[in-house]
Structure 1
Amino acid sequence: MIARESTPTSSPATTSRLWLAGPIGLWAVVGTFVLLGVIRSVQVDVPFRDPHGAYWWSRVELTASIFVGCVLLEGIVRAGLPLSPARVWSVIREKWTVGRLVYSWGALLAYHATYLTYHNLKSWNDLRTPRDGMLLDWDRALFFGHSPAVLIHDLLGEHVAAWILFVWYETFPTLVVVAFPACVALAKRVKDAYVCIAAFVWVWMLGTGTYYLIPSLGPFHSAPQEFSGLPHMPIQDTQARYMGQWENLRADPHAHDAFAQVAAFASLHVGVAAVILGVVWWHRMRLATIAMTIFVAGTMVATVYLGWHFFVDDLAGLAIAALAWILGPPTVGVRRRPVRSS
């Protein structure tokens, strides 16, 4: 059972407290966030929505599929050669007791509750007046009167680099969809799975807070002339669709399909990618940490280059990721990273 991960000298009462700390701490935070979502829903008189099941039902199903795939893959690797279905099944059953499954899915469902609430709060925030002009001014102040996007365009060009950075940017959704169930399914210690999920939960919540702190749409809308030299890519179609959703929401917030998803400050592409960097760092995966550091840096370039974010959005994304990792471990009662495997 899960309790075998405790130290041999722990009493049953101490073990119970240790393992209750994770779910209680995580769900206390998530429950508070959901409650804030309910309060905001009442304020704007718009119910929670899940368009086409995009943020709950289909996501939970996808998470389950990835989770099963990770469990099976790990079982195959741990079973070793020669492979046999019986040996793989035995290895999987040894790790995945009913208790561990329930405990692990408690964390995954907490993530999904956060994710659904995040998207609804993000949508309702688009009813507020954007303040992109202030962010534009901050960017130019940081770059001595220049636009960081224009500077990157001049440095990298606006053709081959545009497609490379487009592909780089678009890998983010797949990375996130795989990362959070994998960090639960592949964790040796269940408490490490809770630490990582807590960090993910915190970054989505903190990101929502920054959206409300400074409502914004992004430089692609507020300074479109800076991106007119880029080739037409699917990114422009996505930006146009987001602006159409934004306009429809503001025209009739109570329409059944009124749901918008555009916000700039802070960049959660950067913030969540940096949390994934924290996941591999937490597990002392040196090569993966180097790879994710490069990915985060490239994502920062791509968000500015393509017009999704101001440079200050990226800085804020890094800041909330760091704060998410400061808050994550104590939220679930964990103090230390796992020791390096011998």
Structure 2
Amino acid sequence: MLVFAGIGVARSVQVGIPFRDPGGDFLARRIVITAGVFAALVVVDGLLRTPRPWTRTAVAATIRTRWPARRLALAASALLAYLLTYFVYHNLKSWDVLNAPRDAMLLRWDRRLFAGHSPAILLHELLGTHVAAWVLMVWYETFPSLVVVGFPAAVALARRTLDAYAGIAALVWVWILGTATYYAIPSLGPFHEAPQEFAGLPHMPIQDTQARYLAQRDHLLAHPHAADAFAQVSAFASLHVGVTATLLGLAWWHCLRRTTIALAVFLAGTMVATVYLGWHFAVDIPAGLAIAAAAWWLGPRTVGVRRPAATPAAQSSSSAATTRFSRSLRRSA
């Protein structure tokens, strides 16, 4: 995180624009929201770990036992590292619009992959442009809420502090690697490069957001030193896909089978929605998945762990199997 912040400072000096947090949306307010979500998850975790019937005293005792001062400090440092990375990411993403976009190249790649066809139009023809458009819009817009809950959950619900650090490290890496791809191939998205392909969709808040992002970009290019100049548009790679896939890896790491399945379904819908709505080119999708895979390779190794701890159920099963094997050996002897 510190190295990434240093890169952000160097880029800030290069472009002559200071770090900004418009409306506190990317740091100040997120610190408050994260603290609230984390506290709520700690209470939920305490309830789950306390035998019923629950009493306030019993739940409080469970929470105090699980969260001594040292563990709280480690949790706070992990969450702060994530939030600072996210803040630097957004500023670097804003300054990326100063680079020339390469959307025409990405559009050509899409055409070659789909034999001269537009993947967005193929999806429109397959799914229709009425009910599916609204469903996929809601699906796509669920992503911010998932992230707001997902990364505090990586810390609050982890069995070991080391598992919490592995998850946060993977999430930190996905933002860092995503920023690198933004600068490797600057782009705005197919809604800007080929707007005619999305003219058949009903008017939804998505189009208003896309127009606002382009207006932000224009404002930053025209008045880069204005206090409110801040852009939020970049396409390659899809971090909606990359971050969702990283959260999917988090569920797998913690052996949460049902959550893993649910997130796999959500990831599949997100991949469809992001192309259908014009936010990303089809080639942005595998790039996002590759970033998630790299983040999960790097994350655990960054904190010195190669595999998750066994779940209590798995530990019990392993212990029982060992006991049965020992008994079998004694009988054979």
TM range (shorter): over 0.9
Q: Please, which of 299, 306, 318 is the counterpart of residue 277 of structure 2?
A: 306
Picking from 191, 196, 205, the partner of 1:220 is 191
Aligned position for 2:176: 205
* 1:340 Cα deviation after fit: 3.3
Query: Please, which runs of 5 or more residues in structure 1 have no aligned partner?
Result: 1-29
- Structure 1 residue 78, shift from structure 2 partner: 1.6
Shift of 1:102: 0.2
Residue number among 125, 130, 136 corresponding to 2:96 in the alignment? 125
1:142-188, CA deviations, whole angstroms, 9 ceiling, x for partnerless residues? 00000000000000000000001001001000000000001100111
Q: Secondary structure at the match of 1:311?
A: coil
Which residue does the alignment assign to 1:276?
247
Deviating more after overlay: 244-253 vs 285-294: 285-294
Aligned to 2:62: 91
SS in 2 for 1:260: coil
Give how far 1:294 is off. Answer: 1.1
Does 2:17 align with 1:46? yes
> Corresponding residue for 2:161?
190
1:180 is matched with which residue: 151, 162, 170?
151
Which amino acid in the other structure matches residue 243 of structure 1?
L
1:9-20 residue pairs with structure 2 within 5 A? none
Matched, 1:37 2:8: yes
Q: In structure 2, what is the equivalent of residue 9 of structure 1?
A: none
Per-residue deviation at 1:68?
0.3
Residue 313 (structure 1) shift: 0.6
2:86 to 92, 103, 115: 115
Equivalent residue, structure 2, for 1:102:
73
Deviation at 1:339, TM superposition (A): 1.1
CA distance in 2, matches of 1:176, 1:132: 27
Query: What SS does the aligned partner of 1:256 have?
Result: coil
Cα offset, 1:290, TM superposition: 1.2
Give the aligned residue type for 1:36.
I
Partner of 2:320: none
Partner of 2:204: 233
Could you tell me how far apart the structure 1 residues matched to 2:276 and 2:43 are?
A: 39
Could you tell me which amino acid in structure 2 is paired with residue 92 of structure 1? I
Query: In the alignment, what sits opposite 1:255?
Result: 226
Partner SS state of residue 232, structure 1 = coil
Q: How does 1:283-322 map to 2 (within 5 A)?
A: 283-322=254-293
1:263-303: CA deviation from partner (whole Å, max 9, x where unpaired): 00000000000000000010111111111111111100000
In structure 2, the partner of 1:22 is none
Superposed structure 1 runs of 4+ greater than 2 Å apart: none
Distance of 2:256 and 2:267 partners within structure 1: 16
Shift in Å, 1:52: 1.0
Residue-by-residue CA offset, 1:63-116 (whole Å, 9 max, x unaligned): 000000000111122223211110010000000000000011110000011000
Unaligned runs of 5+ in 2: 314-333
How far residue 341 of structure 1 moved from its aligned partner, in angstroms, is 3.0
**Given the alignment, which residue of 309, 330, 336 partners 2:301?**
330
CA deviation after TM superposition for structure 1 residue 338, in Å: 1.6
Residue 171 of structure 1, aligned match among 142, 145, 154: 142
Q: Which amino acid aligns with 2:85?
A: T
- Bigger Rg, structure 1 or 2: 2
User: 2:17 is paired with a residue of what secondary structure?
Assistant: coil
Distance in 1 (CA, whole Å) between partners of 2:32 and 2:258 is 31
Determine the C-alpha separation between the residues in 1 that align with 2:255 and 2:228: 44
Aligned partner of residue 335 in structure 1, secondary structure: coil
- Establish whether residue 136 from structure 1 lines up as the match of residue 107 from structure 2: yes
42, 45, 50: which one pairs with 1:71? 42
Cα distance in 2, alignment partners of residues 75 and 340 from structure 1: 17
1:127 Cα deviation from its structure 2 partner:
0.9
Give 2:291's aligned amino acid. Answer: I
The aligned amino acid for 1:128 is: N
Query: Percent same amino acid at aligned positions?
Result: 63
Structure 2 Cα separation of the partners of residues 328 and 181 of structure 1 = 16
1:260 shift after superposition? 0.2
Residue 102 of structure 1 aligns with an amino acid whose one-letter code is A
Structure 2 SS opposite 1:168: helix
C-alpha root-mean-square deviation of aligned residues, in Å? 0.6
